[in-house]
A and B are shown apart, each in its own frame.
Chain A
């Protein structure tokens, strides 16, 4: 046993020495994740803060001006200008400078004065459905509360609706979408680094010829695999520490759960991604193939089907079972649970178990596929 461990340690030492000889790779593996997380953490926001808009006021009455004032006075909107005709809207919307255009018909003022039902048009560029939805929602809310005020002012009421809605948002009261995104980016950044290292690891030696030399020595299969993965796991953990520091220290994502559990889960996740990369390494004949297989068949699906940006509940019934095959899915639930909800294993145990099982399975598969002797 002692001999086995010594051989293992020699493999570990060799990997580290090789890594050290390639300072660029080293830098990429340590520095790049932080840089990525910071940059993308800022990018990842679906929050719509201010809606740029234009107005076409065909009425030009004091009532219409009053309505426009509601918009310009609201922090949710930014009125960029008032246009003369509806045709002018084309330029603004097509060019993307304005998201919506408020069109007030010429009989608006009169209708309001007479208490008749009236309507205003909101033109929106639907290509960005998400933002449009939000913008329309804001506009609708603004107009209907303004309308109510008017109505009650006439009727002598309090200006308040009959039924109010009090909304309380748990876990993320400011609706800061970053808190949702950053754990996901963290996981993806780790994925990118570790998959690269491990998927190229064995293929590279095969391409260079040193793998054959290794196979002739008494180094056992598992010793080789463990020896290769340990340095990468260590690098991965350093990355974990760094990105966690950025997420918590820089972006101030709240950490309501246990840090120890978080780190433990990160370790399990690392084993999964490393195992995945290793598996790719065993089914690829060249580094080119390894890269393509890893990128196409593992990383891209992880981005889209893990619940990173697109909620899994939104996905069609047929696709949902497929998402169970994606380890990132479980890790995201765990991450978000620990960060935002502050829950622990009592709630997260199914996902933790699934993640662990995934990692164990893929590592086993990779090991089985690695034979020191060609059949």
Chain B
């Protein structure tokens, strides 16, 4: 038998086995796309309808104007009218409000007289991300209102008008976090699907004893690994394309680059991911260990070290080095480049090369590992 013939034999057998486990197969094909649907819809960093408590000790026209500025911005909604300072504790402890705006008693008088005054914003800091955003909004809104009052009081003076900042945001003008998150979701779900489907496959045969039978056949370790990779790759690819389809149809994920590049990047990524699962399968001695190792190395690390949610450049250098070992990192960069930026492979060829290298190394390691076991 030729090498290709051996690979085919293993692949066909594996495919038949997969097709027999209906439940698992259906999960692998359809659940990922379904997940994208749900999570793509559910997840966002955009903070809106921030619950705001207001303690207005002044109740003047000026204070009401400040409050309206907050409420009309679209970011905040009035959740509580605070009458006494003692209430604030309870509101923040219980997370009924995310922030409390406290306006001092002589706010209106001071503003009309052109005297400097200060309002207080007490922010619930347990979610630092949201808190930072709230703080940012606060400064922005207060500064805008302040400028408006200043202009009124200084109308006719020769003071220079402020310098405006015009932001031009590329690729994602409305700064929808969805466009940022969806590619990450695609990468994450695809990686997990691939690893989960394969990490038990070889060790299961070892535990059941059918591996001995395989060793009897004149199939070498490498054709065996490749033969096992193919059907899982096919399924993962189908699943991944399903995810991308959902993303584009339902989340308006743009496609500004080339389909060929997308297919190439996805394929390289999936071969590596499937291979990674197989490698785990050759290293673990029991299915339970394989499961645990698979979870440990992909479940949380892919989520957090691929650039999906947390920017890699903000991580300590040591960790940034670790992220080089996370294939999802490269895929995500390439994916975003293709889908959002519409640039060609010239920009992300390094990522593609890294993915190819990863796949090659992993498959080789898996074969070597098997050869040692079979010797």
A residues lining the B interface (CB < 8 Å): 22, 24-25, 28-29, 32, 36, 39-40, 42-49, 52, 93-96, 112, 115-134, 136-137, 139-141, 143-144, 146-148, 150-152, 154-155, 157-158, 160-173, 175-180, 185, 188-189, 192-193, 196-197, 200, 204, 286-289, 291-293, 295-297, 299-300, 303-305, 309-311, 313-316, 319, 333, 336, 340-341, 343, 347
* Cross-chain contact B287 with A150 (CB below 8 angstroms): no
Chain B interface residue number, banded = 35 or more
In the assembled complex, the Cα of A163 lies from the Cα of B66 at a distance in Å of 10
In the complex, which residues 12-43 of chain B have their Cβ closer than 8 Å to any Cβ of chain A? 21, 23-24, 27-28, 31, 35, 38-39, 41-43
With an 8 A cutoff between CB atoms, is B364 at the interface? no
Q: A80 to B41, alpha carbons, bound, how many Å?
A: 37
- Distance in angstroms between the alpha carbons of A292 and B182 in the assembled complex: 23
Q: List 12 A-B contacts (CB under 8 A).
A: A36-B296, A48-B311, A126-B169, A127-B172, A130-B311, A157-B159, A168-B123, A169-B131, A172-B125, A179-B128, A288-B287, A311-B47
The 8 lowest CB-CB distance pairs between A and B, nearest first, are A126-B172, A172-B125, A177-B128, A155-B159, A163-B146, A147-B163, A169-B125, A165-B142
Interface flag for B121 (CB, 8 Å): yes
- Other-chain residue from A94, A144, A340 in contact with B163 (beta carbon distance below 8 A): A144
Q: Which secondary structure characterizes the binding site on chain B?
A: helix
Q: Name which of B111, B163, B310, B316 has the most chain A CB atoms within 10 A of its CB.
A: B163
Given known pairs A25-B292, A94-B343, A131-B311, the reply for A287 and B299 (CB within 8 Å) is no
Tell me the complex Cα distance, A152–B176, Å.
Answer: 36
Among B31, B98, B167, B179, contact of A136 (Cβ-Cβ < 8 Å): B167
A46 touches B128 (CB 8 A): yes
State A217–B189 Cα separation when bound (angstroms): 43
Cβ B168 vs Cβ A192 within 8 A: no
- Determine whether B161 belongs to the interface, using a CB cutoff of 8 Å to chain A: yes
Q: Given the complex, which residues of B lie within 8 Å of A148, measured CB to CB?
A: 162
A47: B residues at CB distance < 8 A:
128, 132, 314
Of B47, B142, B143, B301, which is in contact with the most chain A CB atoms at under 10 Å from its CB? B143
Q: Which residues in B have their C-beta under 8 angstroms from that of A287?
A: 200, 204, 287-288, 291
Q: Which residue of B lies closest to A131 (CB)?
A: B311
Interface class of chain A by DSSP = helix
Q: Say yes or no: B161 contacts A151, CB within 8 Å.
A: yes
A300 to B39, CA, bound (A): 10
**Nearest chain B CB to A160's CB is how many angstroms away?**
6
- B257 to chain A minimum Cβ distance, whole angstroms, is 12
Question: Contact at A166–B121, with CB atoms within 8 Å?
Answer: yes
- A165 contacts B118, C-beta separation under 8 Å: yes
- Report chain B residues within 8 Å CB of A310: 42-45
Cβ–Cβ < 8 Å partners of A300 in chain B: 35, 189, 192
CA distance A39 to B296 in the complex (A): 12
Considering only residues 21-76 of chain B, those with a C-beta below 8 Å from chain A are 21, 23-24, 27-28, 31, 35, 38-39, 41-51, 66
Interface residues of B (CB under 8 A from A): 21, 23-24, 27-28, 31, 35, 38-39, 41-51, 66, 92-95, 98, 111, 114, 116-133, 135-136, 138-140, 142-143, 145-147, 149-150, 153-154, 157-173, 175-177, 179-180, 189, 192, 196-197, 199-201, 204, 284-289, 291-296, 299-301, 303-305, 309-311, 313-316, 318-319, 322, 333, 336-337, 340-341, 343, 347
CB of A330, distance to nearest CB on chain B (Å): 13
Contact indicator B296/A28 (Cβ below 8 Å) = yes
CA distance A158 to B287 in the complex (A): 71
Minimum CB–CB distance from A94 to chain B (whole Å) comes to 6
Identify the closest chain A residue to B124 (Cβ). A170
The answer to whether B126 touches A46 (Cβ under 8 A) is: no
CB distance from A294 to the nearest CB of B (A): 8
A196 and B295: CB pair below 8 A? yes
A166: which of B38, B41, B118, B136 is its contact (CB, 8 Å)? B118
Q: Which residue of B lies closest to A179 (CB)?
A: B128
Known interface pairs A123-B170, A137-B136, A169-B135; A155-B289 also in contact (CB < 8 Å): no
Residue of A116, A127, A130, A189 touching B336 (CB-CB under 8 A): A127
Residues of B within 8 A of A336 (CB): 126
Q: Apart from A45-B310, A94-B343, what are 15 other A-B pairs with CB-CB below 8 Å?
A: A24-B285, A36-B300, A47-B128, A49-B314, A122-B168, A136-B167, A144-B165, A161-B146, A162-B111, A165-B142, A170-B123, A172-B126, A175-B125, A291-B199, A293-B27
Select which of B163, B171, B300 is within 8 A of A127 by beta carbon: B171
Q: A43-B310, A130-B45 are in contact. Are A121 and B130 (CB under 8 A)?
A: no
Interface hub of A46, A196, A297 (most chain B Cβ within 10 A): A46
**Which residue from B27, B119, B296 sits with its C-beta under 8 Å from A192?**
B296
B313: A residues at CB distance < 8 A: 52, 96
B347 to chain A, nearest CB (A): 6
Chain A residues near B27 (CB-CB < 8 A): 292-293, 296
**B31 to A, closest residue via Cβ:** A296
Contacts of A134 in B (CB 8 A): 132, 136
Q: Is the CB of B125 within 8 A of A127?
A: no
Decide if A162 touches B200 in the complex (CB within 8 Å): no
Whether B168 pairs with A123 at a CB distance below 8 angstroms is yes
Which chain A residues border B143 with CB–CB below 8 Å?
141, 144, 161, 163, 165
| Chain A residues with CB below 8 A from B51, complex form | 313
